[in-house]
Structure 1
Amino acid sequence: MGTDEQFNDMDVQEYDAVFSLGSNCQTAYQLRRLSLRREAGPLDWFVSKNIDQLIRLIDARFAGFMDLGNLEKISAFRTCYCVRDTRYGILSYHDFPITEKEADWALAYPEFKSKLCRRTERMLQAWETGERLLFVRVNGGQDDGDRLYYSLKKQVKHFFDLIIIDTLADENAPVSSWAEPSGCIRYSIPKGKDWRGSDGAWNKLLESIRLRHRLSD
């Protein structure tokens, strides 16, 4: 996993915090279900499929993320509007409730932005003070793990690990893993029946992961 440790499925790996890096809500859902997510992170409930834009966001330390002037309402999705951050290409599906007048879609913005700032500061603080961090992302291209790892390495002051999980349509596919040159660990698992993914595969994948202690807010 990290450059100074050899990954071993049998060893318990302890972290100060575990953060989702997208690319969808499955990551945050599974981390919460497995009690590996004490507090929310800034990317938990967004869709962030473009790795280049995610790396730009990390390199910028989330500067301008979801600023009102960069937001574009795209469509309605169930009870909320789908809203896109045009600077980073990241989509919100859960933060802007559908309003009686469509022009009022941004009424929820102040509360949303306040919540997002708290989550962003939590992650930035962890980058500075966390002695052992774990970042988890669902789905990525062939070299995305290495690129994302080196972007994080420029920001995170201490030890961290990065896991990228590729989901497969074959529900009988075994959970498998391999290391990339950077030290990023790639997994392939069955994608599951819906957006939440395969609980059994995630159980196996993260069965050796534990949280050490709570980072100060």
Structure 2
Amino acid sequence: MELHELKGGYDVLYSLGHNCLPASQLNHSKIRNIAGVIDWMMSPHLSGVSALLRDRFRHVMLWDNLRYHGASSDSGCYVIRDAAYDLYSVHDFPMEDNDPGILESYPGLKQKLDYRANRFLQLMQSGKRIFFLRTEATLHETEELVQVLDDLVAGEYKLLVVNHAQVPYIVQIDYQLPNVCTLLIPEVANIFQDNHTLWRTILEGIYNTMTNEEINAYLLQNYNT
């Protein structure tokens, strides 16, 4: 797909990782209208995300799969890995409130993730047009993800993959996959700050057609959640 083919309105717009960047940039463009399950996690391998979606989130962040992975001075939180899917929580376990062996914040986090997962799955079956954004994905990983999304999404969806590379500007590459647009943008010192202008260009013309309140009201009416 060409970038211009992504332009238009979407019921919901979701981040699929690889870190906080996609959700952050959707926020900056004021088009992120709903919270996803892994918005603020690290998911370095897209295959783990595909497995998570294939499993319909059934095992996300189960206690027995959690591993202590250190601490983040940037977030002030313990880094906790979900070994089943190679996901890393970096914002959910504040060091001042948690012991790394006890993780007092875990029950609240699990409840929140399960709620968001259930909402995600409902929207995959009822949304007419859905937008996904993933940073850092190989061709093989993207092929696998498309197979999972084809099975998961009842309506129309578009997937934008943005990889960082040694390029001077936005460069489009062709993975030759339906519903997928793949771009390269410059590798920079700070991926969260230094490519803002390019991200505004990429996401220009993409917008949401429902507010968060409208989405939740729709789900409440149709799914009694």
TM-score (norm 1): 0.89
**Contact kept? 2:173, 2:184, Cα under 8 Å:** no
* CA RMSD, Structure 1 to Structure 2 (Å): 2.0
**Contact kept? 1:25, 1:44, Cα under 8 Å:** yes
- Residue 31 of structure 1 aligns with an amino acid whose one-letter code is L
Aligned counterpart in structure 1 of residue 28 of structure 2, from 24, 33, 43: 33
- Alpha-carbon offset, residue 168 of structure 1: 2.3
**Contact kept? 2:92, 2:109, Cα under 8 Å:** yes
- The aligned counterpart of 1:94 is 91
**Is the partner of 1:154 in helix, strand or coil?**
helix
**Contact kept? 1:145, 1:186, Cα under 8 Å:** no
- Alpha-carbon offset, residue 103 of structure 1: 4.8
Q: 1:157-176 counterparts in 2 under 5 A? A: 157-170=154-167, 173-176=168-171
Q: Does 1:55 align with 2:50?
A: yes
**Is the partner of 1:182 in helix, strand or coil?**
coil
> Does the C-alpha gap of structure 1 residues 100 and 178 become closer, same or farther in structure 2, counting only changes over 3 Å?
closer
- Alpha-carbon distance between aligned partners in 1 of 2:95 and 2:6, rounded to the nearest angstrom: 47
**Contact kept? 1:176, 1:187, Cα under 8 Å:** yes
Unaligned runs of 5+ in 1: 2-6
Q: Does 1:209 align with 2:206?
A: yes
**Is the partner of 2:132 in helix, strand or coil?**
strand
- The aligned counterpart of 1:189 is 185
> Does the C-alpha gap of structure 1 residues 19 and 100 become closer, same or farther in structure 2, counting only changes over 3 Å?
closer
Unaligned runs of 5+ in 2: 220-225
Q: Does 1:142 align with 2:139?
A: yes
- Alpha-carbon distance between aligned partners in 2 of 1:94 and 1:128, rounded to the nearest angstrom: 29
- Say which structure is richer in helix: 2
Aligned counterpart in structure 1 of residue 69 of structure 2, from 74, 77, 86: 74
Q: Larger deviation: 124-133 or 9-18?
A: 9-18
Q: Larger deviation: 30-39 or 126-135?
A: 30-39
Aligned counterpart in structure 1 of residue 110 of structure 2, from 113, 120, 129: 113
> Does the C-alpha gap of structure 1 residues 99 and 133 become closer, same or farther in structure 2, counting only changes over 3 Å?
same
Deviation by residue 1:30-76 (Cα, 9 ceiling, x = unmatched): 01111111121001001111122221111101111011221111111
- Residue 114 of structure 2 aligns with an amino acid whose one-letter code is C
> Does the C-alpha gap of structure 1 residues 202 and 100 become closer, same or farther in structure 2, counting only changes over 3 Å?
closer
Q: Does 1:14 align with 2:15?
A: no
- The aligned counterpart of 1:85 is 82
TM-score (norm 2): 0.86
Aligned counterpart in structure 2 of residue 156 of structure 1, from 150, 153, 158: 153
Q: Which runs of 4+ in 1 moved over 6 A?
A: none
- Alpha-carbon offset, residue 105 of structure 1: 4.3
**Contact kept? 2:128, 2:155, Cα under 8 Å:** yes
**Contact kept? 1:72, 1:84, Cα under 8 Å:** yes
- Alpha-carbon offset, residue 113 of structure 1: 1.2
- Alpha-carbon distance between aligned partners in 2 of 1:101 and 1:210, rounded to the nearest angstrom: 38
> Does the C-alpha gap of structure 1 residues 101 and 126 become closer, same or farther in structure 2, counting only changes over 3 Å?
closer
